[in-house]
Amino acid sequence: MTVIGFGGLALRFVQDRHGTAGSLDVFEMTVQPGAKMPVAHAHATWDETIYGLAGTTTWRIDGADCRLGPGQSVFIGRGTVHGFRNDTDDPATCLCILTPGVLGPEYFQAMAALAAGGAPEPERMKALMLRHGLVPDPAG
């Protein structure tokens, strides 16, 4: 299975919209120490559930921090601004479930291509997000 990596993140799709007739996307994400989601955002057409597998990530959901460890989960409903980071000294891994499956690996492959030349320009990153249904947080 292909691993998509950029900015201290590694994603491995378990299921995607192509193989589930759009029902869901499921991917395992490893977040290296100090890594974070590049741009906080919301999605208008899908929900996201995150399940901690190893290590601890901190999720900022609707303005509040939530630490997520193994066996814990958070639900991020449509329209809810969120982001994440790894404040620890160890990698953290979680399972991300998007319902329905409308994103697929294509978004992350395009984001990795943008990041291949170093830190991508924020405006290009935001434009890519919008094309794939992610709405960047206007506050950041």
pTM: 0.93
* pLDDT-flagged residues of the chain (< 70): 1, 119-120, 140
Q: What is the pLDDT of residue 120?
A: 67
pLDDT at 38 (0 to 100): 80
Give me the helices (H) in 31-139, please.
Answer: 104-115, 122-131
The reply to whether CATH 2.60.120.10 applies to domain 3-135 is yes
Residue 123's pLDDT is 85
pLDDT score of 24? 97
Between the CA of residue 88 and those of 33, 34, 58, 62, what are the distances in Å? Answer: 6, 7, 9, 22
Distance CA 20, CA 121 (A): 33
Return the pLDDT at 39: 86
Q: Where are the domains of the chain?
A: 3-135
